[in-house]
Chain A
Amino acid sequence: AQSVTQPDARVTVSEGASLQLRCKYSYSGTPYLFWYVQYPRQGLQLLLKYYSGDPVVQGVNGFEAEFIKSNSSFHLRKASVHWSDSAVYFCAVSANSNNRIFFGDGTQLVVKP
C-alpha cells in the first residue's frame, strides 16, 4: 500500500523568506501526488497535483512542488511566504486516479511577521 511521510510536524519561517515543506512517499509504481492546505476551521483544499509530465508543478498562490522519483520525494516550495500562508499542509499519494488517497500527518506552517 501507499504511504506518505512528512518529517516536520511544524515549520516556522519569517514573512518574505523562502519555504520548503518536505514529503516522501512510498509506492513502487508511478504515483499520483498531491498537496492540500487546511486553514483554521476549514476543510482541506487542493494546492497542486502531479500526474505525469514536467516534474515541477505549479499551484495556487505561488506554490510549486517537484517530483523526484529517485528520491521518492515531492517537496513543496514557495519563494516568499506571506503571513496568510500560515496553515497546515498535507502531502498525499494515490496509486492512480481511481484509487483512494493516502495522506501524510501534515506540517503546521507558522509565518512570523
Chain B
Amino acid sequence: DAGVTQTPRHEVAEKGQTIILKCEPVSGHNDLFWYRQTKIQGLELLSYFRSKSLMEDGGAFKDRFKAEMLNSSFSTLKIQPTEPKDSAVYLCASSFRGSNTEVFFGKGTRLTVV
C-alpha cells in the first residue's frame, strides 16, 4: 500500500534556476498539501488542494511558487526563479476528506540552492 511519494529526495539548484518537485498522493485521497519546513520557520503551508481545486495558496509564497494538481494522483510544485533562502525541506501530504481524517506525509524533498 503506497504512501505519499515525493521525487526527487534531494535537489541542488543554482540561484535563478527553475525547479519542479513532484508528489503522488495516497490513492483515493482528495486533499493535498505542500509544506515548506525549515528550522527557523517550522512548517509553513504553501498550497492546499481539495479535489484538485486550490483552496489556499499560502499568500507569502505566491510570487515565485506555483503548485498544480494535473490530476488527482499527481501534483507539482514549481519554484521559479530559485533563491538561496528557498533552501528547505518541502513536504507533500494527502488525506481523505471524511471522518477520522489522517494526514499522510511523504518523506520530503531537500532543496539546496547555491
A: which residues have CB within 8 A of B?
32, 36, 41-46, 49, 51, 90, 94, 97-98, 100-101, 103-106
Contacts and interface: CB of A to CB of B under 8 A. Distances in A.
Contacts of B55: 100
Most buried by B among A49, A100, A103: A100
Contacts, number: 46
Contacts of B102: 46, 49
B34 interface: no
Contact of A100 (B56, B99, B107): B56
Interface in B6-26: none
Contact of B103 (A41, A98, A101, A106): A101
A101 B33 CA distance: 10
A43 B91 contact: yes
11 contacts: A42-B108, A45-B105, A51-B100, A94-B101, A97-B98, A97-B101, A100-B31, A100-B45, A100-B55, A104-B42, A105-B43
Interface residues of B, number: 22
A43 B107 CA distance: 4
Contacts of A98: 97-98, 101
A109 to B, nearest CB: 15
Nearest to B99: A97
A43 B103 CA distance: 11
Interface string B71-83: 0000000000000
B4 A97 contact: no
A103 B43 contact: yes
A49 B25 CA distance: 21
B100 A97 contact: yes
A97 B48 CA distance: 15
Most buried by B among A49, A94, A97: A97
Most buried by A among B4, B33, B43, B97: B43
